[in-house]
Amino acid sequence: MTAQWRPVRQSRTHELVLETIEQQLLTGQLKAGDRLPPERELAAALGVSRSALREALRVLETIGVLVAQVGRGPDAGARIVREPDDALGRVLRLHLALGSYGLEDVLEARVVLERSSVEAAARAGRTEDFEAAEELLAGMAGAEADAERFNELDTAFHVLLARSSGNHLVSTLTSAVRESVRALILGAERNLDDWPGTARKLNADHAELLRLIGAGEGAAAADLVERHIRGFHGAFVSSRPEDADH
């Protein structure tokens, strides 16, 4: 194997701090819900400046592992939380914009993830999610004129299906990927010739998808969701010929 040496880039203080805290997370010494000491105390305890500590905390915050609240009382200060969705969404969104991967890749990823989601959802059969999905569906039917609102509900619908699969990770990834192309999809919808008609078609897909999932027909639902995604996604990719290289 050809040796690949990456620069060591050693010892930026905030990275050391980060490692320390990460270790405590990985070993379970820090759990969700725990509070960190006040910044000034922790900085002193770690022997670093408050600025360096704050940079490390900021990183944890963007990862969705920590939130901070000002003020006083039991809810104030820095707390460990579990909110990966926004973090992943932001990463994917920015890298999509930078062309770290192309739209085709996003299309394939969506197909793969959502096929798996709907199959699992059909197996799980959660009626409460089913009802919520019905509501979203009704909302979309009423919002066919308003592309922005439709897009919002559409995203919520797909994310709900993913969540209904019972697999948090796949759901998080699905949600993040879907969010990352949200602005693009919205832009494409606005440029379509016959948007209301397209919206109706999409909604018909959604209704049928929901029916199949409710009936436990996972395989059929998976095929439908693939057609659904490829159909629309493919249509607007072709109208946006900026291919991203790498």
Partner DNA sequence: TTCCTCATTATGGTCCGACCGAAGGGAAGG
Partner DNA sequence: CCTTCCCTTCGGTCGGACCATAATGAGGAA
Enumerate binding residues for DNA (CB under 7 A): 11-14, 36, 38-41, 47-52, 54-55, 57, 68-78
In the stretch 117-156, what mask flags binding to a copy of itself with x, by CB under 8 A? ---x--------------xx--x-----------------
Kindly report the number of other CB atoms within 10 A of residue 199's CB atom: 22
92 binds, options a copy of itself, DNA, none, Cβ within 5 to 8 A by partner type: a copy of itself
CA dist 189 and 90 (Å) reads: 22
What is the amino acid identity at position 150?
F
Which stretch in 82-90, 189-197, 203-211, 219-227 sits in contact with a copy of itself by CB under 8 A?
82-90
84 binds a copy of itself (CB under 8 A): yes
Are the C-beta atoms of 136 and 146 separated by less than 8 Å?
A: no
Let me know: does 38 contact 77? Beta carbons within 8 Å: yes
Q: What is the separation, in whole angstroms, between the first and last Cα of the chain?
A: 24
Torsion of CA 150, 152, 158, 159, to 10 degrees: -160
Q: Distances from the Cα of 48 to the Cαs of 51, 100, 205, in angstroms?
A: 8, 35, 57
From the list a copy of itself, DNA, none, pick the one residue 73 interacts with, judged by a Cβ distance below 5 to 8 Å according to partner type.
DNA
Binding segment toward a copy of itself, per CB under 8 A, in 21-29, 39-47, 189-197, 206-214: 21-29
231-237's contacts with Cβ under 8 Å and 24+ in sequence apart are: 232/198, 232/202, 233/103, 233/106, 233/107, 233/110, 234/107, 236/184, 236/185, 236/188, 236/189, 236/191, 236/192, 237/103, 237/104, 237/107
Selected from 118, 122, 160, 177, the binder of a copy of itself by CB under 8 A is: 177
Which of a copy of itself, DNA, none binds 120 (CB below 5-8 Å, type-dependent)? a copy of itself
Q: How many residues bind a copy of itself (CB under 8 A)?
A: 56
Residue 78 binds which of a copy of itself, DNA, none (CB < 5-8 A, kind-dependent): DNA
Site for a copy of itself in 90-119 (CB under 8 A): 90-95, 97-102, 104-106, 108-109, 112-113, 115-116
Determine the Cα–Cα distance for residues 164 and 123; give it in Å rounded to an integer: 10
CA–CA separation, 166 vs 124, rounded Å? 7
Q: In terms of CB distance, is 34 or 146 closer to DNA?
A: 34
Integer Cα distance of 25 and 57 in angstroms: 13
- Residues in contact with a copy of itself by CB under 8 A are 1, 14, 22, 25-26, 28, 31-32, 51, 54-55, 58-59, 62-65, 80, 82, 84, 87-88, 90-95, 97-102, 104-106, 108-109, 112-113, 115-116, 120, 135-136, 139, 167-170, 172-173, 177, 183, 246
